[in-house]
């Protein structure tokens, strides 16, 4: 077994070896960071999810959309809403009551 250890001590590490090692380490770090962040956040939601987020009926969502208060994207027969626009709608229309 000492002979194996001695052979390992005599091996040279080349610059290519170091570059490969660095690339492997960086790839492993990127994988860990991606895993730690969790799944990507969806920006666009369909009407059903938008209704759940803001707590309105299908008819009320259509009234809000038709009034121009809420922008949307229509692709085929599906209507999509930007989550940021849904939040912004409520923030901009928040009413503070005075006592």
For residues 61 and 22, membership in a common domain is answered with no
- What pLDDT, on the 0 to 100 scale, is given for residue 75? 94
For residues 82 and 52, membership in a common domain is answered with yes
Q: Does residue 28 sit within a domain?
A: yes
Strand order in the sheet with 44-46: 44-46, 78-82, 73-75
Q: Does residue 29 sit within a domain?
A: yes
**Cα–Cα distance between 52 and 56 in angstroms, integer?**
7
- What pLDDT, on the 0 to 100 scale, is given for residue 23? 94
Q: What is the pTM of this model?
A: 0.55
DSSP string, 72-93: -EEETTEEEEEHHHHHHHHHHT
- What pLDDT, on the 0 to 100 scale, is given for residue 39? 67
**Cα–Cα distance between 85 and 99 in angstroms, integer?**
30
The boundaries of the domain holding residue 70 are: 44-92
**In the chain, how many domains are there?**
2
Over residues 52-79, the pLDDT tens digits come to: 988 899 999 999 999 999 999 999 999 9
Over residues 13-41, the pLDDT tens digits come to: 899 999 999 999 999 998 888 777 766 67
For residues 54 and 33, membership in a common domain is answered with no
For residues 30 and 51, membership in a common domain is answered with no
């Amino acid at each position: 077994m000492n002979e194996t250890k001695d052979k390992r001590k005599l091996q040279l590490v080349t610059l290519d070896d170091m570059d490969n090692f660095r690339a492997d380490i960086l790839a492993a770090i990127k994988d860990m960071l991606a895993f730690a962040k969790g799944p990507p956040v969806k920006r666009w939601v369909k009407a059903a999810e938008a209704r759940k987020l803001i707590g309105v009926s299908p008819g009320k969502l259509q009234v809000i959309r038709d009034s121009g208060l809420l922008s949307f994207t229509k692709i085929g027969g599906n209507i999509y809403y930007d989550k940021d626009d849904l939040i912004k709608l409520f923030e901009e229309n928040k009413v503070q009551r005075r006592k």
